[in-house]
């Protein structure tokens, strides 16, 4: 089920990122202790009044001069209009209504998308009068907020969530494996889709970003049904879009949300770049089964050590995804292509694997016996009970005497022991620590 998307739009320096960080709260901390996960986030997940959503911060574009500011805000608004279900239009109470605000407002008004105006930097009641001029934007009552003080955020979310559509139910049966193909432009996403399907279903070009939209393509292999979701490049024209690869994550994020298995494509000819880490991180944080697919392997100059060296490079760069298998292939020549589907099937099974509680507790008991938890200020962590509470991804709750005594390094040790016993290849594992209560 794909979550609806809220986008935060506005000119530079109105406080978009501050509000974004307040909305997602401590969700980033879940992976902060994992080396190699970039903290430069453009999107996150939130929930308010029982409604889950994805939220996108359209900030972060470097600005040079007044013309570039206008170009930037127009681009942000266009991207938000295209991808979001609800738009939070942020303005600055201290600066007042500006020409750039009017420009964005006209674009948003024409889009007919639901818009909520958030007037930031209303740090005290004396500034409430500064809010009224923003009624003239034409989107109803502006909501006064203060990102730095955390004021009005609840009212803002309340209003935005009310305008969200209901999440779309998945149109595919449970036994269909949904596979998202993600990667930066020109790594061969569409070529891989075509190779798997055996026909030219998707327009392919050497120009980065030529595919027009995310495309669902069902197919069947050996009695198993699949749906390929090609996230592809940007659908608009012009140089503005050539500089916005990172904003195409909105589309990739929607595809990842719907997928069971995510193929993270890497250009074998060019090697690994920083943006590959961003893209892989989306799949990891969404808790999806993942496979690294090194494409264009046919054009790589190789000796007997090349594959081993590239594998080690992936492991070094993606320390937070050591669980993901690696497949080397060429979508163009179909070299080694037959190896991919069996791996997709395998990681899909691992992603949905449920372990019996007594087996899980036996493994944890052995792990504790071999390496007891370290003490902290005279207190020692005591693990009472372990149970798996969910699949896709496998989610395990560890009941302890005091959750604050669970150091992330010891939690990682337990995860490694669980993987050693039950494999879970290709899927992240979520481990949460809870205090044992009388009911438990």
- Which residue positions form the known binding site for GTP? 10-17, 57-61, 120-123, 183-190, 230-234, 295-298
Annotated binding site: 10-17, 57-61, 120-123, 183-190, 230-234, 295-298
| DSSP result, 119-142 | EE---SGGGGGGGGGGGGGSSSS-
Cis omega (within 30 of 0) on the bond before 393? yes
Phi, psi of 170 (to 5 degrees): -65, 135
Q: Which residues contact 404 (CB under 8 A, 6 or more apart)?
A: none
Alpha-carbon distance 407 to 210, whole Å?
46
Of all helices (H) and strands (E), which one includes residue 196? helix 189-197
Backbone Cα Rg of the chain: 24
Alpha-carbon distance 369 to 397, whole Å?
19
Q: Which residues contact 224 (CB under 8 A, 6 or more apart)?
A: 177, 345
DSSP β-bridge partners for residue 385? 399
Alpha-helical segments (H) within 232-319: 239-242, 249-258, 274-285, 306-317
Half-sphere exposure of 93 (CA within 13 A, CB side): 21
Q: Give the three-state DSSP class for 70.
A: helix
A 10 A CB-CB count for 218 gives 12
Q: Which residues contact 288 (CB under 8 A, 6 or more apart)?
A: 180, 256, 259, 260, 261, 262, 351, 393, 427, 428
Tokens 């481990």 appear where?
Answer: 431
């Amino acid at each position: 089920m794909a979550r609806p998307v809220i986008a935060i739009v506005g000119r530079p320096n109105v406080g978009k990122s501050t509000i974004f960080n307040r909305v997602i709260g401590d969700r980033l901390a879940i992976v902060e202790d994992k080396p190699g996960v970039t903290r430069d986030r453009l999107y996150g997940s939130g929930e308010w009044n029982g409604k889950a959503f994805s939220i996108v911060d359209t900030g972060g574009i470097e600005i040079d001069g007044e013309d570039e500011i206008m170009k930037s805000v127009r681009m942000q608004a266009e991207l938000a209009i295209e991808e979001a279900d609800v738009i939070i239009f942020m303005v600055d109470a201290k600066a007042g209504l500006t020409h750039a605000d009017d420009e964005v407002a006209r674009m948003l008004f024409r889009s007919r998308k639901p818009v909520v105006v958030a007037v930031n930097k209303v740090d005290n009641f004396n500034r409430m009068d500064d809010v009224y001029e923003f009624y003239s934007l034409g989107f109803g009552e502006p909501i006064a907020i203060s990102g730095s003080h955390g004021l009005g955020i609840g009212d803002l979310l309340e209003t935005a969530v009310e305008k969200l559509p209901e999440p779309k139910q998945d149109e595919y049966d449970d036994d269909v494996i949904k596979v998202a193909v993600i990667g930066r432009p020109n790594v061969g996403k569409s070529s891989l889709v075509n190779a798997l399907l055996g026909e030219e279903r998707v327009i392919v070009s050497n120009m980065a970003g030529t595919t027009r939209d995310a495309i669902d393509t069902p197919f069947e292999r050996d009695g198993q049904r699949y749906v390929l979701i090609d996230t592809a490049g940007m659908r608009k024209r012009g140089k503005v879009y050539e500089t916005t690869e990172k904003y195409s994550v909105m589309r990739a994020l929607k595809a990842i949300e719907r997928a069971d298995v995510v193929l993270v494509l890497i250009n074998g000819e060019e090697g690994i770049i920083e943006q590959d880490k961003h893209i892989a991180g989306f799949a990891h944080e969404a808790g999806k089964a993942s496979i690294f697919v090194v494409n264009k392997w046919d054009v790589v100059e190789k000796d007997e050590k090349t594959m081993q060296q590239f594998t080690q490079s992936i492991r070094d760069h993606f320390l937070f995804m050591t669980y993901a298998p690696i497949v080397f292939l060429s979508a163009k020549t179909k070299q080694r292509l037959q190896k991919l589907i069996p791996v997709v099937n395998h990681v899909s099974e691992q992603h949905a694997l449920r372990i019996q509680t007594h087996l899980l507790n036996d493994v944890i008991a052995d792990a504790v016996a071999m390496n007891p938890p370290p003490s902290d200020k005279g207190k020692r962590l005591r693990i009472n009970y372990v149970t798996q509470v969910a699949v896709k991804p496998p989610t395990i709750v560890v009941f302890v005497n005091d959750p604050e005594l669970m150091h992330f390094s010891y939690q990682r040790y337990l995860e490694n022991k669980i993987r050693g016993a039950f494999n879970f290849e290709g899927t992240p594992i979520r481990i949460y620590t809870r205090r044992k209560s009388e009911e438990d």
